[in-house]
């Protein structure tokens, strides 16, 4: 594939990471974040789906043909064909470029499944360098993480400009927010700003949920309502990059992002 023209700026694009317990709506938040960046002409955007149960492509309306995980397993299993005059490293980087799905305003890279048995240090070092080089081509990088954030820890040496931790209106999910916040410290991730988004929540947050949110120690950025427009689109499998103008949650999230970016 032909690489996208480089983003002509001296500095790296901003990195936005989205994390949360499964089922809280973090992929929806990640997709709506990408949508807002496109709508406000802050492109190009690189979307990275780092959740092994990858669904960000569906939310963005981008068909996923290849994943880094599948390419890595093929390479690790010595099924890669090395043309004469090329190194293994060059072939691997070429294959990673082939896994990049291009779309208008946003490109998508899907990490896929995690490593199986065996040593992946060599491949991960190449992947880390590839991601760092690729990120410089974009104004924003939005990463949809698994709750544990191990993918981000292994792949990234950059500062996270904005970490959005998503929780639904439950004590269990709010408690997971605190664990994710602790994990960022344990993994020694460099996070500039860290905020909580309470998703699918009523205007009056339940006292026990509010108390758990306060214990998590992550500032609450906004509370998103249970949005019927987004729910219908999600149930129908429709991408969230279109027909979201009438969605209150999309507008609220956009205004909140503008206040912290």
Q: What is the CATH number of the domain that holds 42?
A: 3.40.50.300
Domain membership of residue 7 (yes or no) is no
Q: Which of 5-19, 48-62, 123-137, 199-213 has the lowest mean pLDDT?
A: 5-19
Domain membership of residue 178 (yes or no) is yes
Under the banding of pLDDT at 50, 70 and 90, the label for residue 77 is low
Domain membership of residue 6 (yes or no) is no
Domain membership of residue 9 (yes or no) is no
Domain membership of residue 3 (yes or no) is no
Specify the number of domains making up the chain: 1
**Cα distance between the two ends of the chain:** 32
* Residue range(s) defining the domain that contains residue 35: 14-260
What is d(CA 214, CA 219) in angstroms, rounded to the nearest whole number?
A: 8
Domain membership of residue 209 (yes or no) is yes
Q: Which tokens sit at 62?
A: 């981008």
Mean pLDDT of 28-45: 96
Percent of the chain with pLDDT over 90: 47
Instruction: Output the CA–CA distances (angstroms, integers) from residue 222 to 15, 167, 175, 195, 196, in the order listed.
Output: 20, 11, 17, 9, 7
Indicate the pairing of strand 106-110 with strand 101-102.
antiparallel
- What pLDDT sits at residue 10? 47
Q: Which of 229, 213, 211, 230 is nearest to 168 (CA)?
A: 213
Task: With a cut of 60, say whether residue 7 has pLDDT above it.
Answer: no
Q: Cβ distance 158 to 189 under 8 Å?
A: no
Kindly tell me the burial class for residue 185, based on how many C-beta atoms sit within 10 Å of its own C-beta (0-12, 13-18, 19 or more).
Answer: exposed
Q: Which tokens sit at 23?
A: 């089922």
Domain membership of residue 229 (yes or no) is yes
Domain membership of residue 195 (yes or no) is yes
Percent of the chain with pLDDT over 70: 83
Q: Which of 181, 260, 261 is nearest to 218 (CA)?
A: 181
């Amino acid at each position: 594939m032909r690489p996208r023209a480089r983003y002509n700026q001296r500095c790296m694009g901003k990195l936005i990471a989205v994390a949360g317990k499964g089922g809280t709506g973090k992929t929806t938040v990640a997709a709506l974040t990408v949508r807002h960046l496109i709508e406000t002409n802050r492109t190009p955007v690189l979307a990275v789906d780092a959740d092994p149960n990858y669904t960000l492509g569906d939310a963005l309306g981008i068909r996923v043909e290849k994943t880094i995980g599948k390419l890595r397993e093929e390479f690790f299993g010595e099924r890669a064909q090395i043309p004469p005059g090329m190194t293994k490293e060059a072939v691997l980087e070429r294959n990673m470029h082939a896994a990049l799905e291009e779309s208008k305003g946003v490109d998508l890279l899907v990490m896929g499944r995690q490593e199986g048995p065996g040593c992946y240090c060599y491949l991960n070092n190449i992947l880390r360098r590839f991601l760092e080089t690729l990120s410089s081509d974009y104004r924003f990088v939005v990463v949809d993480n698994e709750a544990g954030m191990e993918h981000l820890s292994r792949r990234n040496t950059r500062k996270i400009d904005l970490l959005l931790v998503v929780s639904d209106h439950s004590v269990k999910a709010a408690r997971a927010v605190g664990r994710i916040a602790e994990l960022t410290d344990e993994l020694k991730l460099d996070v500039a700003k860290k905020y909580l988004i309470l998703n699918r929540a009523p205007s009056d947050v339940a006292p026990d949920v509010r108390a758990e949110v306060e214990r998590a120690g992550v500032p609450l950025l906004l509370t998103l309502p249970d949005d019927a427009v987004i729910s219908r689109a999600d149930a129908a499998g429709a991408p969230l990059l279109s027909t979201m103008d009438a969605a209150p949650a999309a507008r609220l999230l956009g205004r909140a992002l503008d206040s912290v970016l």
